[in-house]
Amino acid sequence: MTEFGQAVRRWRDRVTPEAAGLPAGGHRRAAGLRREELALLAGISVDYVTRLEQGRATSPSAQVVEALARALRLSGEERAYLFQAAGLAPPGPETVPAYVTPSVQRLLDRLAGAAVGVYDAAWTLLLANPLYAALLGDPSGWRGHERNGVWRNFVGPGSRVRHTPEEHRAFEAALVADLRATAGRYPGDPHLRRLVARLRESSGRFAELWDTGVVGRHQGARKIIDHPQAGALTLDCDVLSVAGSDLRILVYTAEPGTEDAERLALLGVLGTQSLVG
C-alpha cells in the first residue's frame, strides 16, 4: 500500500455516512465509508478506488485527487498532503479553485429541501445533492467536459431548463461573459485554457460570443424545469457565493404551498428513479 493509498483508507474510515450526507443503512462492520460510497461521492469507479488504496494504481490526476479530497471532507492541510502524496503540487492561486471546505459541505447537507449544485468559477459541477440530481439529471456518470455547464449548453445535450429563443440567446451570452471574466482572473489555468479552446473549436456560437470580448457574471432567476416524468416545475434559482472562495452554489427552491413545491418534494422522495412503472 502506498502513502497515498494509506491516507485515502485512513480518511475513508474516519468519515461516517451521516457526515457525508448518506444514509447509514443496514449492518456495517465499520463506522466509516464503504469503498462504493466513496466512489459514488467522488464520481469515480469502485475498482479505481480499490486499486488506489492497494497501491495498484499510481499517479492519479489532479481532478481525481480533488474529488477524493471533497468526498473525504479534508481540511486544507489534509488536502495539500493528499496532493503531495500523489506526487502533485497542490493547486495554486493561478488555478480555478475547486476546494469545498467541510463547513460549506455541512451547510449543503442541511439544505435537504432544496436542489443544490456546487460549481467552480468555470461552471464545472463539483457537487450535486440528490434532489439536484433528480431535478436536472444524474451527473454521477458525467466525465471531463460533460461536467461543465458551458460545454453542456453549447456542445452537449443542454439542460432541462426551458427557454424562449430570446432567453436562450441571453443565457448563452451571460455564460460566455462569465467564463471570460473567470479566464481573466485565472490566466495560468491550463484546464481552463483547454476548455475555452475546445469550445471555440466545437461551437461557432460560442466562438462568436467569445470574440465579442464581453465580461460579466451569470445571475440566477426564476426558471421552468421540464422534468421528463414530473412535468414542468417553476422554481427560483439563486446563485450564492461563499466569502473567500470563487465557487457558485446554485439553489433551486419552490414557493411553499404550490404544486411546484409538491412536485419538488416528490422528486426528493423518488430521487433519480423513474416516476412511471
Per-residue pLDDT tens over the stretch 115-170: 999 999 999 999 888 899 999 998 888 888 999 999 999 999 989 999 999 999 99
User: Do residues 77 and 19 share a domain?
Assistant: yes
Q: For the packed helices 35-42 and 46-54, what is the interaxial angle rounded to 10 degrees?
A: 110
Question: What total number of domains does the chain contain?
Answer: 2
Q: Note the helical H segments in 110-217.
A: 130-136, 149-154, 165-185, 190-202, 204-210
Closest C-alpha among 65, 38, 67 to residue 126: 67
Which of 37, 58, 85 is the last residue in one of the domains? Answer: 85
User: Do residues 137 and 191 share a domain?
Assistant: yes
**pTM of the prediction?**
0.84
- Domain coverage including residue 19: 3-85
According to DSSP, residue 90 is labeled P
- Dihedral over Cα of 40, 45, 47, 51: its sign: negative
Average pLDDT over residues 248-264: 94
Cell of residue 16, nine digits: 461516517
Average pLDDT over the chain, rounded to an integer: 89
What pLDDT is recorded for position 241? 86
Residue 79 pLDDT class (50, 70, 90 cuts): very high
User: What is the length of the chain?
Assistant: 277
What pLDDT is recorded for position 25? 64
User: Do residues 159 and 201 share a domain?
Assistant: yes
Cell of residue 35, nine digits: 469503498
User: Do residues 107 and 56 share a domain?
Assistant: no
Per-residue pLDDT tens over the stretch 188-208: 999 999 999 999 999 999 999
Using CA atoms in the order 182, 184, 190, 195, what is the torsion angle rounded to 10 degrees?
50
